[in-house]
Copies of this chain bind each other. A is one copy, B any other.
Amino acid sequence: MSTSRGARQPTIKEVARLAGVSPMTASRTLAGGRNVRPDLQERVLAAVRELGYYRNENARSLRPGQPSGLIGIAITNLANPYYGNFALGVEEVAAEHGRRIILGNTGEDDARERQLVSDFIGRQVDGLILVPVSGDAAHLKPERLGEVPLVLASRRVPGLDVDTVLLDDVGGAYRGTVSLLDAGHTRIGFLGNRSSVFTGERRFRGYEQAMTERGVPVDPAIVARDQQDVAAASLAAKAMLDRDEPPTAIFSANNRNTIGALREIGRRIREGRSGPRPAIVSFDDFELSELMPVPVTVIDHDARLLGREAATLLFSRLDEDVAVPARTVELPVSIEYP
């Protein structure tokens, strides 16, 4: 019986010894076998199999200039399928480039983001992809990051001039709101993130712009901008719909708010309440939107693509020219009518 935790990982020395060669020959073999006699390679590879050897990537990356092969990615909420897909997009492109991702969840917490970034750098990540919590930028400044390139996704950080992938938040929100106005709605509620969140601000701006342009006043009584999760969004929708002059349509600035609003609307329908059944425009797609009991217009965009784009930006800086100035890619959104 072996020990409970199995044996220590074998090292390249042990492989070499078993193969009867020097560690260098083993190392060279593992590096591709340039300048190593085929028969020795055979013996090394046999020893590798025999011992179950894995090259220690950490030791490998210790030597300066050697990349760690890790991309650090910090997102704000993994429970949101949107960010799951985002991470998947990054992971796909990273895998294509032979990199692994190391993932952390900030939960919209500034301190946690700082901690994650430190840790990532301490692990010698080759690059960093961040959906920033916003707040201040001190810990993301290039001088703090050393050589590690950073790409921001979804949101920009004030005062930070780095590669960024954004959505056309303003345009999408504008067009979505216009579609409601075109349908004759004038009492249009707003559900979204607090304005300190970059997308929350931008999407509200698009909404506001459309309303103002058409001469429809924005009524603060049916604007709720502080919901981060489904439960809070439900409550906000409820409050709005319980008013004397409830909205006939609701613009929801993100997935979580949309689900919350629909949950509340569904509850009212099931309870047989007569009240209004507001039309919805949702920034962010969600599954089965076509089956909802009220018409849902979706401002659709592909989280996975956003992730792929962010990763592409990162690898272009990593593998190609490094001196180009910071770029911003703004991905289009598409409006899907019910």
Contacts and interface: CB of A to CB of B under 8 A. Distances in A.
Given A119-B100, A291-B292, A91 B79 contact: no
Nearest to A68: B58
A144 interface: yes
A155 to B, nearest CB: 20
A159 interface: no
A146 B290 CA distance: 50
Given A54-B118, A78-B88, A263-B288, A102 B102 contact: yes
Contacts of A147: 5-9
Contact of A62 (B8, B58, B149, B266): B58
A100 B78 contact: no
A64 to B, nearest CB: 7
B123 A103 contact: no
Given A58-B58, A322-B4, A287 B259 contact: yes
Nearest to A255: B287
Contact of A78 (B59, B85, B124, B270): B85
Interface residues of A, number: 68
A45 interface: no
A139 to B, nearest CB: 9
Identical copies in the complex: 2
Interface in A83-98: 83-85, 87-88, 91-92, 95
A308 B55 CA distance: 30
A216 interface: no
Interface of A: 2, 4-9, 52, 54-59, 61-62, 64, 68, 70, 78-81, 83-85, 87-88, 91-92, 95, 100-105, 116, 118-119, 121-124, 142-149, 230, 259, 262-263, 266, 270, 286-288, 290-293, 304, 322-323
A310 B213 CA distance: 54
A323 B4 contact: yes
Nearest to A58: B58
**Which of A2, A6, A68, A87 has the largest number of chain B CB atoms within 10 A?**
A6
A100 B121 contact: no
A326 B173 CA distance: 53
Contacts of A119: 57, 100
B78 A84 contact: yes
Given A58-B123, A85-B78, A100-B123, A142 B291 contact: no
A80 B286 CA distance: 12
Q: Which of A58, A100, A144 has the most CB of B within 10 A?
A: A58
A170 to B, nearest CB: 27
A65 to B, nearest CB: 9
Contacts of A80: 84
